[in-house]
Structure 1
Amino acid sequence: MGYTVDIFSSAADFLGSPRLAETACLIADVQMPVTTGLELYRRLIDTGHAMPTILVTAFPNDIDQTSALKDGVVCYLRKPVDEERLTRCVREALKSARSPEEDL
């Protein structure tokens, strides 16, 4: 899709990244060591670094999905992730990240 992408081995590595402030969209696994994807999303909000987030999981459950979407996660995707659905979610996330002035 032509976007610059960074990969991090953990939520802590992402949170410590100098690129955190310029990140336009986060795609995170729900099940990660130490910090879950939903915990990472909530921590970003709590620390003033809210960003459009897509969560993916191999172990979907309705409670987590409902909670994530209620909290503002853009998409909650089940693995294996459908490429077309992921593309739509990324576009939706990036559109929501733009300021209203950018749409003028």
Structure 2
Amino acid sequence: MERLSGTVAVVEDDPSMRRSVQRLLSAHGFPTEGFPSAEAFLGRNSASRIDCLVLDVDLRGMSGIALQRQLRDIGSALPIIFITALEDSTLEAEAVKAGCIAYLHKPFPASLLINAINSALASASE
């Protein structure tokens, strides 16, 4: 698969998980920005360009699913990859129905995340 590049936002409230995902993505050539909450992501500097969102489902404050809904409501086509430790088929079905690129259960193989990001960036560039 052709290597694609784009800034990936990682929204994860567990600092060690957020750092781990960012390190993994950086090692594969993706610039990243990390956010500890959905609210922090929404409050980011609007000049920063985000090409893909890796989003934890179960965040403190606004959930990842609620952030996905809000982004869709404002017309955002930002590709979203969910990561979660939750086993909730209803949430997974809702996320998939709303158009997420992938729904990965922690712990997930690094290759699944990298492949999902490459797919997200490819679909965003079409």
SS at match of 1:96: helix
Partner of 2:16: none
Q: Looking at secondary structure, tell me which structure has more strand per residue.
A: 2
Q: Does 1:35 align with 2:62?
A: yes
- Is 1:71 equivalent to 2:98 in the alignment? yes
Task: Output the TM-score relative to the length of structure 2.
Answer: 0.73
SS at 2:108 equivalent: coil
Taking every aligned residue pair, what percent have the same amino acid on both sides?
A: 34
Superposed CA RMSD in Å reads 1.4
Q: TM-score, normalised on structure 1?
A: 0.87
- Which 5+ residue runs of structure 2 have no aligned equivalent? 1-27
Residue identity opposite 1:94 in structure 2: L
| Cα distance in 2, alignment partners of residues 46 and 32 from structure 1 | 20
Letter of the structure 1 residue corresponding to residue 31 of structure 2: T
Give the deviation of 1:36 after TM superposition.
Answer: 1.0
Partner amino acid for 1:93?
A
Q: Deviation string for 1:4-34 (max 9, x for gaps)? A: 1000111111111114762100001000011
Where does the alignment leave 5 or more consecutive residues of structure 1 unmatched?
A: none
1:19–1:3 CA distance, 2 compared to 1 (3 A): farther
Taking the aligned partners of 1:63 and 1:20, their CA distance within structure 2 comes to 35
Comparing 33-42 with 12-21, greater Cα deviation is found at 12-21
